[in-house]
């Protein structure tokens, strides 16, 4: 038995296209064909207008840092990373999602709100997790 | 349906002890609180025909353990505010004639975890897919995320955030049942261990064992039963919800649930803010009373930090707030 591991998400039928996207190196979100608005998390109907006429689109992967904490009490599997940043980012398309900010020392000075970010993917089990890194960072 | 029927709280009690209670199970805490509340009201279990409590152990188990045969049950489980929802739902049920006297129970072995539900979300749940993969570890890593955005938008300082804990400790200092009673300073708060920046240990609630219960009849029924204590009148209530994932909260500087539920409560009660001279706001973390003061309209947006730092919610101030010491200093069983 190895040390505790990071949680691996398990897709449902409704979320499978999102996870298929991350595996392909794309951040896919849903958009309503009727009211044209994007939304996240994945679900069958538009939460704005209720329409079921929705499509999957590939987001640009650009986002800004909306808010965050720097967590000093690691969850199981994250012991080696503490302290680490648990953030909510706002995608260019206007929707928000939780993520980790990687590729930068986790200090308040390095992480001003509205910092420009871009998506990167971390393979974990059979799933690719979307993480974000400062847009100016190398790699 | 009798919308005019006046609803009261005729009995209210906690478990005799709160804090660290490894000799009591979750169900045991419910039952002890229930018996204490019945005693406070001067009633017996046979006066109760409605029961409300959260999903686990739930109204069936609590009613059966107490020897109550309920004609009405409510198992609404929406977190820490569930029991206030129960009061509102009980009022509606009594006014609708579904039952006469409701017992609402809470018990949680949050610290000792005796007979407690296992926590956790499956990997295919919403949280399992869109929160847990990022190393969230309970509410300290989710509830807390909006605070930095609030601080940026309003100019709230770290010192003002710490003042919330300082103010509530002043109340706990006066309360022999509070878990932590020694007065603290802003420097003490900022020097305490960092839990999830910007939150230090003293800006996070306690985790304790304990229980509480309420007996809710109509005023008419309470008088007919001859309850012992002065009646507490339910003037108004409101309920609302926002998002199942913190990332989906519409505006990180304001709680929609606070705004909508308080607006409904004020409207039903027919009172103004100036009529309120005692306020209790949930304080799992130090920013919540700040959001509450603003979202319920007691101060304008961005003013709550200064309002607290100036001492208005502290002992002797003009709006006493969380006067038992709150979850930050008194007790917080987890819900």
Cis peptide bond upstream of B198, omega within 30: yes
Domain membership flag for residue B3: no
Which residues on adjacent β-strands are paired with residue B102? B50, B216
Q: Are B246 and B149 in contact (CB under 8 A)?
A: no
Query: Higher-confidence residue: B2 or B128?
Result: B128
Substitution target from B120, B128, B132, B134 for chain A, most A beta carbons within 10 A:
B134
Residue B117: band (very low, low, confident or very high) from pLDDT cuts 50, 70, 90: confident
Domain boundary at B198, B233, B268, which? B233
Range(s) of the domain holding residue B83? 8-117+208-233
Backbone phi, then psi, for B50, in 5-degree steps?
Answer: -140, 145
Question: What's the complex ipTM?
Answer: 0.96
Are B248 and A41 in contact (CB < 8 Å)? yes
Smallest Cβ–Cβ distance between B131 and the set A6, A98, A124 belongs to A98
Backbone phi, then psi, for B291, in 5-degree steps?
Answer: -60, -45
Q: Are A69 and B196 in contact (CB under 8 A)?
A: yes
Residue A2: pLDDT over 60: no
Interface of A with B in 31-60 (CB under 8 A): 41
Domain membership flag for residue B122: no
Q: Is B256 exposed, middle or buried (0-12, 13-18, 19+ CB in 10 A)?
A: middle
Residue B255 and residue B161 share a domain: yes
Residue B215 and residue B258 share a domain: no
Tens-digit pLDDT profile for residues A38-75: 999 999 999 999 999 999 999 999 999 999 999 999 99
pLDDT of residue A137: 72
**How far apart (Å, rounded) are the C-alpha atoms in residues B7 and B215?**
11
Q: Is B197 exposed, middle or buried (0-12, 13-18, 19+ CB in 10 A)?
A: buried
pLDDT of residue A139: 54
Substitution target from A4, A10, A65, A71 for chain B, most B beta carbons within 10 A:
A71
Residue B294 and residue B167 share a domain: yes
Residue B284 and residue B195 share a domain: yes
Element (H, E) at B87: helix B82-95
Element (H, E) at B103: strand B101-109
Domain membership flag for residue B2: no
Smallest Cβ–Cβ distance between A72 and the set B149, B196, B252 belongs to B196
Residue B286 and residue B217 share a domain: no
Q: Are B329 and B202 in contact (CB under 8 A)?
A: no
Mean pLDDT (chain B) is 96
Which residues of B are less than 8 Å from A67 in CB distance? Answer: 145-149, 252
Which residues on adjacent β-strands are paired with residue B107? B211
Domain membership flag for residue B47: yes
Task: Specify the CATH number for the domain of residue B101.
Answer: 3.40.47.10
Residue B98 and residue B220 share a domain: yes
Are B247 and A88 in contact (CB < 8 Å)? yes
Q: How far is A10 from chain B (nearest CA, A)?
A: 5
By C-alpha distance, the chain B residue nearest A111 is: B148
Which residues of B are less than 8 Å from A66 in CB distance? Answer: 149, 252
Domain membership flag for residue B305: yes
What percent of chain B has a predicted confidence (pLDDT) above 90?
95
Question: Which residue carries 């609590």 as its tokens?
Answer: B62
Region at B100 (left for phi over 0; alpha for psi -120 to 50; beta for the rest): alpha
Are A69 and B145 in contact (CB < 8 Å)? yes
Domain membership flag for residue B267: yes
Residue B319 and residue B219 share a domain: no
- B180, B197, B233, B330: the catalytic one is B330
**How far apart (Å, rounded) are the C-alpha atoms in residues B101 and B248?**
38
Smallest Cβ–Cβ distance between A69 and the set B133, B152, B196 belongs to B196
Tens-digit pLDDT profile for residues B171-208: 999 999 999 999 999 999 999 999 999 999 999 999 99
pLDDT of residue A1: 40
Could you confirm whether B330 is annotated as catalytic?
yes
Residue B221 and residue B245 share a domain: no
With vertex at residue A86, the alpha carbon angle to CA B189 and CA B245, rounded to the nearest 5 degrees, is 105
Residue B111 and residue B154 share a domain: no
What percent of chain A has a predicted confidence (pLDDT) above 90?
94
Could you confirm whether B180 is annotated as catalytic?
no
Q: Is the dihedral of CA B120, B125, B131, B132 positive or negative?
A: positive
Residue B101 and residue B23 share a domain: yes
By C-alpha distance, the chain A residue nearest B130 is: A98
Are B196 and A75 in contact (CB < 8 Å)? no
**Contact residues for B251 (Cβ-Cβ < 8 A; gap 6+):** none
**How far apart (Å, rounded) are the C-alpha atoms in residues B9 and B217?**
7
pLDDT of residue B56: 83
Region at B19 (left for phi over 0; alpha for psi -120 to 50; beta for the rest): left
């Amino acid at each position: 038995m190895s040390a505790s591991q990071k949680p691996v998400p398990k897709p449902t039928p409704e979320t499978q296209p999102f996870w298929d996207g991350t595996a392909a190196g794309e951040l896919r979100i849903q958009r309503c064909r009727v009211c044209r608005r994007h939304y996240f998390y994945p679900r069958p109907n538009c939460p704005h207008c209720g329409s079921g006429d929705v499509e999957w689109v590939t987001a640009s992967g650009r986002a800004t840092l909306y808010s965050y904490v720097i967590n000093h009490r690691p969850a199981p599997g994250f012991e080696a990373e503490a302290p680490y940043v648990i953030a909510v980012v706002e995608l260019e398309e206007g929707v928000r999602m939780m993520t980790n900010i990687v590729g930068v020392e986790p200090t308040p000075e390095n992480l001003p709100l509205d910092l420009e970010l871009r998506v990167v993917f971390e393979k974990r089990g059979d799933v690719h997790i979307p993480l974000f890194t400062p847009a100016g960072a190398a790699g | 349906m009798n919308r005019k029927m006046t609803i009261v709280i005729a009995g209210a009690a906690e478990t005799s002890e709160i804090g660290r209670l490894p000799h009591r199970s979750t169900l045991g805490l419910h039952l002890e609180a229930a018996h204490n509340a019945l005693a406070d009201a001067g009633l017996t279990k046979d006066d109760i025909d409605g029961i409300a409590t959260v999903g686990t152990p739930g109204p069936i188990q609590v009613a059966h353990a107490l020897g109550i045969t309920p004609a009405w049950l409510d198992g609404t489980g929406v977190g820490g505010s569930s029991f206030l929802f129960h009061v509102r739902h009980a009022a509606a049920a009594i006014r609708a004639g579904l039952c006469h006297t409701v017992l609402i129970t809470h018990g949680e072995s949050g610290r000792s975890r005796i007979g407690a539900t296992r926590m956790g979300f499956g990997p295919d749940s919403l949280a399992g897919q869109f929160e847990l993969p990022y190393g969230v570890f309970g509410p300290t890593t989710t509830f807390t995320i909006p605070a930095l955005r609030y601080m940026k938008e309003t100019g709230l300082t770290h010192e003002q955030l710490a003042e919330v804990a300082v103010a509530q400790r002043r109340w706990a200092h006066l309360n022999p049942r509070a878990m932590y009673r020694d007065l603290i300073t802003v420097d003490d708060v900022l020097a305490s261990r960092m839990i999830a920046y910007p939150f230090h240990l003293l800006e996070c609630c306690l985790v304790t064992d304990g229980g509480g219960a309420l007996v809710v009849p109509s005023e008419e029924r309470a008088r007919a039963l001859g309850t012992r204590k002065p009646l507490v009148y339910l003037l108004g209530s409101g309920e609302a919800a926002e998002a199942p994932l913190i990332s989906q909260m519409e505006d990180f500087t304001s709680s929609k649930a606070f705004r909508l539920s308080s607006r409904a409560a004020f409207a039903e009660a027919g009172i103004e803010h100036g009529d309120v001279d005692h306020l209790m706001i949930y304080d799992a973390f130090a920013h919540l009373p700040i959001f509450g003061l603003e979202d319920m309209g007691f101060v304008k947006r961005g003013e709550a930090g200064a309002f607290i730092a100036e001492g208005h919610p502290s002992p002797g101030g003009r709006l006493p707030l969380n006067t038992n010491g709150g979850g930050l200093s008194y007790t917080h069983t987890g819900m």
